[in-house]
Amino acid sequence: MNPNEYELNKIKFSSKQLDISKNRAMDIGLRACLKKNLHRYLSYQFGVDYYGRANVDMENETWKNDAFASGSFPVENGRRNDLGMYVTMDYSGLAGFDLVGGARLGASSRSAISDGVFSEKSSLAPALFLGVTRRIHDSLTLFFNAGSAYRVPSLSEAFYTGITGRNSIVGNPGLLAERSVNLDAGVKFHRNNTFIGMYLFQCSIFDMIEKFPLSATSYTYDNIERGRIRGLELEFQFYPLKSLEFFGNAFYYQGVSTVSGQYLNDIPSAKLFLGARFWLGRFWSEVNWMASAAVKHPGPAEVANADYQVTDIKAGCYLSNRFFLFLKAANLFNRAYAANADPDIPAAKGLDVSLGLNMNF
């Protein structure tokens, strides 16, 4: 159980106006699971899970010159329930293969009083998955996964209209739930002091919920017919010495609407990350470098951004089993860059130095 309360204040000094958004809710989660081995090579899990939000209230207030000007209740007594039953099975009786699959049937509902009008929706949320792992050799593994998923619009996406941490948003109570088909495959090589992994994936999202601008200062949500996200990921670790590690990863993603060809929001540009870490007794140090390609194809609620490079250094010392001292200098060369294509997110920090002491219990 997690009772929570959040308040956002936005001050406009030029007009002496204060906008306040208040959010209150009780989040509840529960899961029960039974796991059993039927055979040396066969096992299963059966479970029930529940997630709920209750007593959700969202309130907006506007004050001008320290006097109350207006107020609204986009969401009163909101409630969301997600109840599901699932079963998975794992079979490893075929030489070199591991097979796992499962199914989940969920029932979801949401309701709220929005601007004085009671709204309620419910739906079933089926999902399936299948995974196959093939060990070619002790050091080489191939895998493939296929699955379907279901995402119900949140109470905020459906009903909340008001200010946010960046701009204003207008809720859309007519949003449909997202359905997706997800595929991924990859290869892993792990031998002695070397690990290399390469992965491919594709997500096809039907009735995808996307954010669109209404004006220069406000947005709303709507469904698009189908969004498709594809990606390639690479990672490696290499230990030339017991006390020295080189590591890195890289990825390239692409996201578009398969009907309109419009690029999607929230698809990061290609990035390359490289680093080295050195140990000397209780002391360790690290340097890492990240290069990000430019955002040339922003989504409907984004803007294009230039490419950038960032270098960080880190160091630490284990004073004892309980105390750990660390130092970090982020953005070492004080680069000015926008780390996100969302135009309402401020530019990234410049040179930032942190010194701290951790105590472990």
**Contact assessment for residue 157 and residue 172, using Cβ atoms and an 8 Å cutoff:** yes
- E strands in 268-307: 271-280, 283-292
Token pair listed for 275: 């680093």
pLDDT surpassing 90 at residue 299? yes
Q: How far is it, in rounded angstroms, from Cα 64 to Cα 257?
A: 43
Scanning the structure block, which residue is given the tokens 């066969």? 42
Does the pTM exceed 0.75? yes
Scanning the structure block, which residue is given the tokens 């929230």? 266
> In angstroms, what CA-CA distances link 213 with 70, 155, 329?
24, 20, 37
2-283: CATH superfamily = TonB-dependent receptor, beta-barrel domain (2.40.170.20)
**Contact assessment for residue 179 and residue 207, using Cβ atoms and an 8 Å cutoff:** yes
The domain limits of the chain are 2-283
Token pair listed for 20: 């306040």
- What digits encode the pLDDT tens for the residues 240-289? 999 999 999 999 999 999 999 999 999 999 999 999 999 999 999 999 99
Q: Is 75 exposed, middle or buried (0-12, 13-18, 19+ CB in 10 A)?
A: buried
Q: How far is it, in rounded angstroms, from Cα 335 to Cα 315?
A: 21
Share of the chain above pLDDT 70, in %: 100
